[in-house]
Amino acid sequence: MTTDTIVGLIRDAAEPLPEPGEPGFAEAFDRFGEARVVLLGECSHGTSEFYRSRAAITRRLVERHGFTVVAVEADWPDAAVLDRQVRGGPPKEGAEPPFRRFPTWMWRNTDVADFLGWMHAWNADRADGAQAGFYGLDLYNLAGSIEAVLGYLDRVDPEAAKVARERYGCLMPWMNEPERYGRMSLSRGYAPCEEAAVKTLRDILDRRLDYARGDGEDFLDATASARLVKNAEAYYRAMYYGGATSWNLRDTHMFETLCALLDAKGPGSKAVVWAHNSHIGNAAMTEMGRDRGELNIGQLCRERFGDQAALVGFGTHAGTVACATDWDEPMEVKRVNPSRPDSYERLAHDSGVPRFLLDLREGVHEPLRRALAKDRLERFIGVIYRPETERWSHYTECSLTGQFDAYVWFYETKAVTPLPTRAEEGPEETFPSGL
């Protein structure tokens, strides 16, 4: 099939979209309202249109379709601070300001702030069970998670808190520089803190009925934090072995946390996930899955929930993006290179439709699905963007119809506007990709 033919199929199937702030934008996504999980992607971590789109779609799913979980590619302890705010609860005593570590602009930006303001207003006159919560799926902020576990146990079970302190004592020297723990474990050839982290989580889960009678949300916070400590311990060890292990541990953790949220909210609960395309597209249909053995939360959701998981990717041709040149370096606004001629993005660009939705589900546009099943290059920009080496730094081969149930296209996009903050230096946790 020729490129011109594929472009014509895209043009015919494309559903033009208004700006994300207009009512008609989110209405186009009502087709996913019956899903258990809707995963909303982004092809960069610093693009305003992607944040505003996800906010509009999520708002529609919450208001019209009963979604109550908003789970994002962010650290659990930091998101927990914001969750308390959007629910109108008191701040946790001693809680650090959230999202002060690099890359601060990813969640401390005006688009996220606007969305959280809407969540607060939505929750204001609703009972706890009907409120929408804001949760982090990622496994960083080891220190914050240990503090959350110990703080919870201090309140509900002081004896268990003493035991947990002894166990976590192994990790205490490494809390603020966990990558050093991984390096030390590699040099010694064993995992000195693994058993302690596993036992603490197991003890909390074994006592779930007693603990959960007090405050279900506090118990959920404690178990998620303990799970994070267990999985982060394994992740930082795996970082130094290379290969797919550390990536797979991270995405498996995100999936486990999502499932725990759904279980906690009950059998009728529904979740919206915000994460990068590299996490929410089905990895089995990409070069990263086939050649490198990497899985992701999108693949795991497809396997667990089947058609009840809707995977929605996002793409752009050009514009600006908030990013850094290297880890812990200052945020910059860079020009995004025009998409490559041999990429999916260029096919979308050549359709001439500036903003559209492609429905890629089976049985909807079969000729188009077949045309977009063949591997092509697809662009992935994380928090680090290196346009001078873009082909090798940011493109990989994928099957678009294998990855996504739908694809949202913007011809041109602009960078997010960060909120004022000073980033704290931290380990290169997603090095080298920043995804």
Tens-place pLDDT, residues 1-55? 899 999 999 999 999 999 999 989 999 999 999 999 999 999 999 999 999 999 9
Mean pLDDT of all residues in 230-240: 81
CA distances (Å), origin 56, targets 61, 114, 164: 9, 11, 42
> 104-114 pLDDT, tens per residue?
999 999 999 99
Considering only residues 234 and 79, tell me which one the structure prediction assigns the higher pLDDT: 79
Indicate the length of the chain as a whole number. Answer: 435
Mean pLDDT of all residues in 65-75: 97
Show the domains of the chain with their CATH numbers.
3-138+270-413 (3.40.1660.10), 141-246 (no CATH)
The region of weakest confidence among 83-87, 216-220, 381-385, 394-398 is: 216-220
Helix (H, G, I), strand (E, B) or coil at 320: strand
Cβ atoms of residues 284 and 398 within 8 Å: no
CA distances (Å), origin 424, targets 111, 144, 328, 341: 22, 14, 8, 39
Helix (H, G, I), strand (E, B) or coil at 183: helix
> 139-150 pLDDT, tens per residue?
887 778 888 888
pLDDT score recorded for residue 432 = 38
Tokens standing for residue 233? 């311990």
> 422-432 pLDDT, tens per residue?
555 554 554 33
> 165-176 pLDDT, tens per residue?
888 777 777 667
Q: What is the spatial distance between Cα 242 and Cα 234, in angstroms, rounded to a whole number?
A: 13
Q: Is 373 exposed, middle or buried (0-12, 13-18, 19+ CB in 10 A)?
A: middle
In the numeric block, the tokens 């178990």 are attached to 223
Sorting pLDDT into bands at 50, 70 and 90, what band is 213? low
Q: What is the spatial distance between Cα 125 and Cα 304, in angstroms, rounded to a whole number?
A: 34
267: left (phi > 0), else alpha (psi -120 to 50), else beta?
Answer: alpha
Label residues 309-344 b or e (16+ Cβ within 10 Å = b). Answer: bbbbbbbbbbbbbbbbeebeeebeebebbebbeebb
Considering only residues 261 and 169, tell me which one the structure prediction assigns the higher pLDDT: 261
Cβ atoms of residues 134 and 72 within 8 Å: yes
Sorting pLDDT into bands at 50, 70 and 90, what band is 61? very high
pLDDT score recorded for residue 151 = 86
Confidence check: pLDDT of 191 > 90: no
Helix (H, G, I), strand (E, B) or coil at 351: coil
Tokens standing for residue 360? 């890629």
Neighbour tally for 12: CB within 10 Å: 11
Confidence check: pLDDT of 285 > 60: yes
- 52-423-117 Cα angle (round to 5): 35
Q: What is the spatial distance between Cα 342 and Cα 346, in angstroms, rounded to a whole number?
A: 7
Distance, C-alpha 60 to centroid of its chain:
19
Confidence check: pLDDT of 211 > 80: no
> 297-353 pLDDT, tens per residue?
999 999 999 999 999 999 999 999 999 999 889 999 999 999 999 999 999 999 999
CA distances (Å), origin 99, targets 105, 163, 184: 9, 30, 27
Question: In terms of Cα–Cα distance, which of 277, 358, 359, 328 is closest to 73?
Answer: 277
Cβ atoms of residues 53 and 117 within 8 Å: no
Own/partner pairs for 119-122, CB < 8 Å, 24+ apart?
Answer: 119/70, 119/86, 120/85, 120/86, 120/87, 120/88, 122/62, 122/63
pLDDT score recorded for residue 427 = 47
- Indicate the average pLDDT of the chain: 90
